Amino acid sequence: MPIWNKEMECMPREEMEVLQLRRLKGALKYAYERSAVYKKKFDDIGFKPGDLKSISDLSKLPLTVKEDFRDNYPFGMFAVPMDKVVRLHASSGTTGKLTVVGCTQSDMGNWTELVARMISMTGVTSADVTQIAFGYGLFTGAHGLQYGMERVGATVIPISGGNSEKQLMLMKDFGTTVLVSTPTYALHLGEIALEQGIDPKKDLKVKFGLFGGEAFSEEYRKEIENRWGMLATDNYGLSEAGGPGFSGECHLICGQHIAEDQYITEILNPETLQPAKPGEKGEVVITSLCREAVPVVRYRTKDVSSIDYTPCDCGRTTARLSKITGRTDDMMVIRGVNVFPSQIESVIVNVEGLAPHYEIIRYNKGFLEDIEVRVEINEDIFIDNYAVLEAIEQKLKHQLFKTLSLNPKVRLVEAHSIERSAGKAKRVIDMRTKS
Ligand SMILES: [Zn+2]
């Protein structure tokens, strides 16, 4: 399978580190001289860009957080005047103010290049027809995938999110071979297809799914692949660190290749914020090496993963990010045990009789926190068949205990009773009262 940019994607490790160090020195100098925010951050600890001698010196610098973007809304994080900015993107958070990022012409070029690499890794080529079912708008996802697809030469159908019937109609009529969406939407769309008498495996030609926007488990991937008869790959990126193109899985599905020539990735222990041991899971922290409009130095993603630096069998030498298993924000501490929604998901998908649609309700129980797991049963099981339901419930409880060492409350609910989403699914519902 062809590699889009052999020079960068197959560079020997030592050479890559030399390139990264050289670019990092330049990026820190650039941020210090052009951004008031970084100048202050560096000055506060008495750090001059010239003080950096090795990549590991990066850990001496303060972290950058989402609040930095919010506090400097709208353009305080920008390192170029507005006449150099050709694009603005923003993401909204739960707390109101937008996180605003921008691109120069050069940033747009780099972005397109990185997404083209990521797409080529999955096996998608100029012969493919891609339906982009991410919502267009201020989010980077849909746009980034479109640029990369067009650079690779694939045909793009920019249908945007939602409108499932039209999605299916175009898939049939235009001969779509690639679906770009959130994993939640892929599963939902597969369900609607079946309801309409369309078997995605037989009646449609979709053979690749490029999924992003939310973390999903291996079991969830299998469920999508089985339903669609496709290769489902995961990719990762966030607007503060350049959007999609940061990392993505190759067709071998063994971690996400990171665009290391343009980003340095650290993994930090979420509690101590010190570098995690090699291979250990921790919070992903990103430093951009080439971004002009909005460079980031040590940006805290709050996403949890680990890095593998060994070369991949696909021929690429770039380090690989393991599947994102959750966000440090999503981590629940239930009776002293750290629990991520993704762990619960992987249990649910493996219990026969359950559909992969669930909600986790967080609530108070006295001074402690507890959770209730609500899961849909498969539609071929009758909700009044108590013996069968009882058996499924026992199995689920048993498996949850095996995985979490906890006995959360479990409730089986009717098929299709949990709200579906065209974007990210809302898995966790917080019913805790503040004390
Ligand atoms: Zn690979």
Q: Give the CATH number of the domain where residue 99 resides.
A: 3.40.50.12780
Strands (E), 306-349: 307-308, 320-321, 326-327, 332-334, 337-339
Q: Give a yes or no: residue 435 inside a domain.
A: no
The CA 219 to ligand 1 mean position distance, Å, reads 20
Task: Tell me what pLDDT residue 1 has.
Answer: 86
Over 60: is that where the pLDDT of 379 sits? yes
Q: Quick one: 74 and 211 in the same domain?
A: yes
Task: Tell me what pLDDT residue 382 has.
Answer: 81
The CA 256 to ligand 1 mean position distance, Å, reads 8
Which residues, including other chains, have CB under 8 Å from residue 100's CB and lie 6 or more apart?
69, 73, 74, 75, 77, 88, 89, 90
Place of tokens 């343009």: 262
Place of tokens 């291996």: 218
Q: Quick one: 34 and 178 in the same domain?
A: yes
Q: Quick one: 254 and 186 in the same domain?
A: yes
- Which is more confident, 426 or 55? 55
Over 80: is that where the pLDDT of 409 sits? yes
Q: Name the band, by pLDDT with cuts 50, 70 and 90, for residue 94.
A: low
| pLDDT tens per residue, range 207-228 | 999 999 888 889 899 999 999 9
Of 328, 346, 372, the one marking the end of a domain is: 328
DSSP track, 339-383: E-HHHHHHHHHTSTTEEEEEEEEEEEETTEEEEEEEEEEPTTS-T
| pLDDT tens per residue, range 147-172 | 999 999 999 999 999 999 999 999 99
The CA 184 to ligand 1 mean position distance, Å, reads 25
Q: What is the chain's length?
A: 435
Cβ neighbours of 71 (radius 10 Å): 12
Average pLDDT in the 315-343 region?
86
Tell me the helices (H) and strands (E) count for the chain, helix number first.
12, 21
Average pLDDT in the 285-292 region?
98
Q: Give a yes or no: residue 418 inside a domain.
A: yes
The CA 62 to ligand 1 mean position distance, Å, reads 32
Q: Quick one: 361 and 294 in the same domain?
A: no
The CA 236 to ligand 1 mean position distance, Å, reads 15
Of 302, 328, 354, the one marking the end of a domain is: 328
Q: Name the band, by pLDDT with cuts 50, 70 and 90, for residue 367.
A: confident
Domain containing residue 35: 1-328
Q: Name the band, by pLDDT with cuts 50, 70 and 90, for residue 64.
A: very high
The CA 314 to ligand 1 mean position distance, Å, reads 4
Q: Quick one: 322 and 393 in the same domain?
A: no
The CA 108 to ligand 1 mean position distance, Å, reads 25
Contact yes or no for 281/305 (Cβ under 8 A): yes
Over 60: is that where the pLDDT of 252 sits? yes
Q: Quick one: 26 and 157 in the same domain?
A: yes
Q: What is the CATH number of the domain that holds 362?
A: 3.30.300.30
Q: Quick one: 371 and 298 in the same domain?
A: no
The CA 238 to ligand 1 mean position distance, Å, reads 21
The CA 109 to ligand 1 mean position distance, Å, reads 24
Of 293, 328, 363, the one marking the end of a domain is: 328
The CA 258 to ligand 1 mean position distance, Å, reads 10
Q: Quick one: 363 and 270 in the same domain?
A: no
The CA 383 to ligand 1 mean position distance, Å, reads 44
Q: Quick one: 355 and 392 in the same domain?
A: yes
Over 70: is that where the pLDDT of 95 sits? no
Number of domains, the chain? 2
Q: Quick one: 354 and 216 in the same domain?
A: no
Task: Tell me what pLDDT residue 93 has.
Answer: 63
